[in-house]
C-alpha cells in the first residue's frame, strides 16, 4: 500500500455547443469512469454543459431552462466523487458563468466567475453578471480553490485570495481558452508563476475542440508549488488525466505558505464549503503522471490546430464530404491535404477548372497531388461558360478593354460550379484563400471566396509555405509536388499573371500585415521601422478597403493572436485615413 492521497481526474472535453442532452450524457459517462477509477474529484471545463461559447443562445430563456434541467440530471448521477462542471447558473434572473459542485446526488454549491473577459473574441459581459466571492472547498485534509479561466490570468485576485486567505492547497481552474500560436507556452509560464506566488498546486483544465472560428487545444496542466510540471493533458485531443496528490505534500505546502503575503482585499472573503470526504490509501500501480509532449515547431502546432478546427466544423455541422477547387497552386494544395488528413481521402472531392489562361501545370500538378492523396479529381473546363458570359456582356462592354471584370467572371464561374456540386450532393465547399490575400482584398467576392469554411483564413502566405514543407517532411517525400511549392503564385486570370504584379513580395507583405493588422500599428510607425513608405500606405489602404469583402467571407480558423472577424472589428463604412 502507498501513502494516503487525493485522486483527481481532469477531463479535456469536446462538447458541441447547444447539444445539451449529448453533452450531459458524455459528462455522466466520464463521471462513471472516474468513480470506477477511485477518483475523489472529477472536473470538466468552463461551460462544458452548454459548449463554449454559447453566445446569444444565452438570451433564450428556454435554453437556460433546458440547461438547468440537464444539470439536475448530472447532479442526480453524482456519487462520492465530487464533480465540478462548467455551466450557466441563474439567480434572480441573472446569469453567471459558473462551476457547479455536484456531490452525492445533488448540487451542493456553485462558484461564479469573477473576471469576465470582454476583449478579443470574448464578450462575456453581454451575457453574465460577475461573481464577487472566491470559493474554497474544505475536504478536511486539504482545501481546493475553484476558479474559472480569466480568474487565474488576473494577478493578485481570485486565486491568491483562495490560497493565501482561504488556505487552498490546490487551485483548480476550469477554462475555455482558445488557441493561438505560442499560447501553450504562455499558459505554462502563467501557471508556474501562480503556483510559486501562492505556494499551492495549480490544476489548469482546458476545453478541447473546434467551435466556428475558435479552436480549443486542451493541453491541461498540473503544476507543483515550485513550478515543476506534475502532469499534462494531450494537445488537440480529448483526454482523461488522472493525478494522485499525496496528502503529506499538502501539509508541507501549508507550512511554507504561511510565510507568504496575502493580496490586498479587493474581493469578498473566500467562502468555505465543507465536502464530506475520507482519505484513502491507494494500491500500488497508481497512474503515472503524463509528461507534457513538446511541440517540435510552430508549423506542427498550427497544422494540428487547423486539422482539429476543420474536422470539428465539418462534422459538428452535419457534413460528411467536402469539395474544393484544386488550381495547381500552393493554397488549394495545402487545403486539400488538410481535408484528407482531417476527414479521410474518401470524404474529399477535388475539382480542377482550367481556363484559357491556365498553365499546363495547373492540371498536371493537381492530378499528381490527387494521385498522391488517393482522392477523386473532376475536371470541369470553364471556357464554354466564360465565352457565354462574354457574349452576353459584349454589347454593354463594347469599347472597353478587358480588365478585372473579365478576370473575376472566371473566379465566379468556378464558385458557381462548386456551389452547384454542394447543392446537388451535400458537400461543403472549402475556401482556399489565405490571410495575406484576404487582408488586402486579393480575392473575388462570390468567386474564390464562395464556400462554407475557410481553413487558411488566418494563415499568412509565408506560413502556407512553411506548413507545406512541414507536411512533406512528415510524409517523407514530396506529398505536395515540388512544382506546386516552387512555382510563382498566380491567380491565372490573365496571360502571364503573377501575384507580385499586384502585391509586394509575400515576405514583405506579411511583415507589414502583422504590424498593421495584429499589432494595430499605424502606417507612420511601420515606415519608421524601415519599410518603404509608398508600399506601407498602399497596403494599409487595401486592408481598409477590403473590409466589406471580409465581412461577407466564410468563417475560418483563428491561429494568430488577432484574427479577422470577432478579434478585429472594423467598420465597413470608414473614412478615417492616417495623414
pLDDT at 1: 40
Domains of the chain, first to last: 4-281 (3.60.110.10), 298-499 (3.40.50.620)
Q: Active-site residues: which are they?
A: 46, 113, 149
Which of 117-131, 298-312, 377-391, 500-514 is the least confident region? 500-514
Distance CA(262)–CA(163), nearest Å, equals 8
Q: Do residues 165 and 299 make contact, with C-beta atoms less than 8 angstroms apart? A: no
* 249 pLDDT higher than 90: no
Distance CA(535)–CA(576), nearest Å, equals 19
pLDDT at 296: 59
Q: Do residues 430 and 322 make contact, with C-beta atoms less than 8 angstroms apart? A: yes
pLDDT tens readout for residues 436-463:
999 999 999 999 999 999 999 999 999 9
**What kind and span of H or E run contains 505?**
none
Q: What angle do CA 38, 9, 152 make, to 5 degrees?
A: 145
Distance CA(406)–CA(47), nearest Å, equals 50
pLDDT tens readout for residues 260-292:
878 876 788 899 999 998 887 665 555 565 555
User: What is 272-304 written as a DSSP string?
Assistant: EEE-----EE--SSPPPPPPP-----HHHHHHH
**What kind and span of H or E run contains 264?**
none
How buried is 154 (Cβ within 10 angstroms: 0-12 exposed, 13-18 middle, 19+ buried)? Answer: middle
Nearest to 214 by CA among 561, 569, 544: 561
pLDDT at 445: 93
* 492 pLDDT higher than 60: no
pLDDT tens readout for residues 21-73:
999 999 999 999 999 999 999 999 999 999 999 999 999 999 999 999 999 99
pLDDT at 175: 97
Amino acid at each position: 500500500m502507498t501513502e494516503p492521497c487525493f485522486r483527481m481526474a481532469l477531463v479535456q472535453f469536446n462538447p458541441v455547443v447547444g447539444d445539451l442532452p449529448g453533452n450531459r450524457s458524455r459528462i455522466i459517462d466520464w463521471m462513471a469512469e472516474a468513480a470506477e477509477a477511485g477518483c475523489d474529484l472529477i472536473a470538466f471545463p468552463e461551460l462544458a454543459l452548454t459548449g463554449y461559447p454559447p453566445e446569444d443562445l444565452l438570451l433564450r430563456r428556454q435554453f437556460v431552462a433546458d440547461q438547468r434541467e440537464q444539470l439536475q440530471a448530472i447532479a442526480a448521477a453524482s456519487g462520492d466523487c465530487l464533480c465540478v462542471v462548467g455551466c450557466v447558473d441563474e439567480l434572480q434572473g441573472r446569469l453567471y458563468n459558473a462551476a457547479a459542485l455536484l456531490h452525492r446526488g445533488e448540487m451542493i454549491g456553485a462558484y461564479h466567475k469573477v473576471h469576465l473577459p470582454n476583449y478579443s473574441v470574448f464578450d462575456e459581459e453581454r451575457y453574465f453578471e460577475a461573481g464577487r466571492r472566491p470559493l474554497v472547498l474544505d475536504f478536511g485534509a486539504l482545501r481546493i480553490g475553484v476558479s474559472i479561466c480569466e480568474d487565474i490570468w488576473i494577478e493578485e485576485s481570485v486565486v491568491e485570495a483562495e490560497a493565501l486567505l482561504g488556505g487552498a492547497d490546490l487551485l483548480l481552474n476550469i477554462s475555455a481558452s482558445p488557441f493561438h500560436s505560442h499560447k501553450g507556452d504562455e499558459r505554462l509560464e502563467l501557471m508556474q508563476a501562480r503556483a510559486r506566488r501562492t505556494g499551492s498546486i495549480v490544476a489548469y483544465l482546458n476545453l478541447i475542440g473546434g467551435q466556428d472560428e475558435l479552436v480549443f487545444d486542451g493541453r491541461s496542466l498540473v503544476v507543483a508549488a515550485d513550478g515543476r510540471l506534475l502532469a499534462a493533458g494531450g494537445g488537440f485531443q480529448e483526454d482523461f488525466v488522472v493525478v494522485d496528490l499525496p496528502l503529506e505534500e499538502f501539509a508541507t505546502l501549508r507550512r511554507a505558505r504561511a510565510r507568504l503575503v496575502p493580496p490586498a482585499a479587493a474581493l469578498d472573503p473566500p467562502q468555505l464549503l465543507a465536502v464530506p470526504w475520507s482519505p484513502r490509501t491507494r494500491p500500488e500501480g497508481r497512474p503515472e503522471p503524463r509528461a507534457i509532449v513538446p511541440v517540435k515547431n510552430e508549423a506542427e502546432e498550427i497544422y494540428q490546430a487547423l486539422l482539429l478546427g476543420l474536422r470539428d466544423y465539418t462534422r459538428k455541422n452535419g457534413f460528411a464530404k467536402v469539395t474544393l477547387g484544386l488550381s495547381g497552386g500552393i493554397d488549394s494544395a495545402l487545403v486539400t491535404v488538410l481535408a484528407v488528413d482531417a476527414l479521410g481521402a474518401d470524404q474529399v472531392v477535388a475539382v480542377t477548372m482550367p481556363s484559357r489562361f491556365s498553365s499546363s501545370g495547373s492540371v498536371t500538378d493537381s492530378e499528381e497531388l490527387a494521385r498522391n492523396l488517393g482522392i477523386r479529381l473532376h475536371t470541369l473546363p470553364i471556357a464554354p461558360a466564360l465565352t457565354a458570359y462574354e457574349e452576353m456582356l459584349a454589347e454593354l462592354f463594347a469599347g472597353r478593354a478587358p480588365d478585372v471584370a473579365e478576370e473575376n467572371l472566371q473566379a465566379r464561374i468556378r464558385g458557381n460550379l462548386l456551389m452547384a456540386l454542394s447543392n446537388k450532393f451535400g458537400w461543403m465547399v472549402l475556401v482556399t484563400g489565405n490571410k495575406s490575400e484576404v487582408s488586402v482584398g486579393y480575392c473575388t467576392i462570390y468567386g474564390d471566396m464562395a464556400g462554407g469554411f475557410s481553413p487558411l483564413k488566418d494563415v499568412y502566405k509565408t506560413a502556407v509555405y512553411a506548413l507545406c514543407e512541414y507536411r512533406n517532411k512528415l510524409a517523407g517525400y514530396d506529398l505536395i509536388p515540388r512544382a506546386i511549392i516552387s512555382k510563382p503564385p498566380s491567380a491565372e486570370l490573365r496571360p502571364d499573371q503573377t501575384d507580385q504584379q499586384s502585391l509586394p513580395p509575400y515576405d514583405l507583405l506579411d511583415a507589414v500585415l502583422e504590424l498593421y493588422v495584429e499589432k494595430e500599428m499605424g502606417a507612420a510607425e511601420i515606415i519608421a521601422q524601415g519599410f518603404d513608405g509608398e508600399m506601407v500606405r498602399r497596403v494599409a489602404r487595401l486592408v481598409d478597403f477590403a473590409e466589406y469583402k471580409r465581412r461577407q467571407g466564410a468563417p475560418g480558423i483563428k491561429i494568430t493572436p488577432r484574427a479577422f472577424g470577432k478579434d478585429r472589428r472594423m467598420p465597413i463604412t470608414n473614412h478615417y485615413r492616417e495623414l
